[in-house]
Each structure stands twice: as C-alpha cells, then as structure tokens.
Amino acid sequence: MPPSAPPLLLLVHGWGFGPGLWRPLRRALPGWPCCTLDLGFFGRIRGEIPAGQPLLAVGHSLGFLWLLHHLEQAPWREACVGLVSIAGFSRFTRTLDFPDGVAPRLLARMRHRLPQDATGVLKAFCQQSDWPNCPDQSVPNPAPLLDGLTWLDTWDGRAALAAWDKPLHALAAQDDQIVPAALTRGCFPDEHIHWLENGGHLLPLTRPDHCARFLLKTLGGGEPPPNPPTLFF
C-alpha cells in the first residue's frame, strides 16, 4: 500500500504580522505541504483551507487563539490531527477567573495610540518581542490591527481547548515578554508545554529550526516528504 499523505500544516500568524512570519520555518521544512493564512492586518484576509486532507493546526500567539475561536464550527475540525501553540494562549487578558492574564490597560494604550502612530506601535511591539529588525510597515488602514486588539481583549478559547480530545502541544520561551511564563502555564497543562530557555516571543523568526523539529516531533518524528505540493496564500 502507498504511504498515507502527510498532514497539511495550517499556519496562522499572530497580531502585527502576516504570512511572512512563517518563511524561516517553511525553509526549515522543505517540501512539507503548508497553508498559510493571512488575517489581513496589512491588507485583505486571504487563504482557503483545503478540504478533505488531514492537517496539523499551528498558531503563533494570537494565531492560536484564532484557531480556538473558530474551532467549534470549523469545517476542518474533523480533519485536524492536532493543535500546536507557538508562544500562544487560550486567553490573553486578565479576568476575575483568569488572574494569569495580561492587564487590559496594556491593550488600551495600544488601541489609543494606533490611529495616530501605527508604525511606532508596531516597532515597540517588535522590540518588546526581542525582534529589533521590525521593518517599516506602511499601515494605510489601522482598523484591522484595532480589530486584532479587540480579539486579544475579548476572545476566550478556554472552553474550546478543554473540549479538545486530540493531541495538543505548546512551545514557549521562558524569556517571552509578551506572553509571560505564568500566562502560558495558566493556559496549558504542564505536560503539554515544551520550554525554551530563550528566543523571545517571535519563535518562528528567532528559533525556526527548533520550531521545525518540534513540529516533526509532534508528527511522530518523521521527515518531510520529498516533493509534495506546497500551498502558500
């Protein structure tokens, strides 16, 4: 019998970035079939998830919360063989029943400043993420970024994650200043977390090779297939 097709990697970026976040990781996994969504922070939303193919859903930061937010009604849920969080979370802001979250006032400051100085807000975010190479990004319309801050402030994926009965894996850095270790532990059981000593918040950029090895390990330690089609959106 021919070997089964490898699962598609469904890659969802976080706030303030686009599909380009995943380029170093894709280079570290040559030939692996990928679908990279664009949440539209700098343009239009793009990406269609192919139907009828097993997939591993991978979200960075807000991208993981996006996956949880859509999981219950997602047409790809049954085909999903596992969830992977890279510097992600099931809830971001603090509430009475979630004391490990980030103070909402931090997002409020960003929301207040964005309409006047979106580039400055993005640069400050990159610097806090330990990524000083944030390019000058033209922001003709800050509305999508403001929407993303609302998602961070209001979305809660804890129930969706608690109901998930397939494999779950979380990769996090102990020096992440955006998603502190306490927030990670508040979202995931300890046995599902793999810790890196450093790497900051943008692990797909700062530790792409480690992210690639981590994904291969979640898939059973296999190697990338020789030359399957790769879907980039």
Domain range summary for the chain, segments of one domain joined by +: 8-92+156-232
Four-point Cα dihedral 104, 109, 115, 120, nearest 10: -120
Which residues touch 47 (CB under 8 Å, ≥6 apart)? 19, 35, 36, 37, 38, 233
The CA distances from residue 139 to 17, 55, 111, 145, in Å, are 12, 32, 14, 9
CA dist., res. 180 & res. 184, Å (int): 7
Per-residue pLDDT tens over the stretch 130-169: 887 776 566 778 999 999 999 999 999 999 999 999 999 9
pLDDT above 70: residue 218: yes
Options 3.40.228.10, 3.40.50.1820, 3.10.20.30, 3.40.50.2300; CATH for 8-92+156-232 is 3.40.50.1820
Residue 86 pLDDT grade (very low, low, confident, very high; cuts 50, 70, 90): very high
The three-class DSSP label of residue 138 is coil
> Rounded to two decimals, what is the model's pTM?
0.91
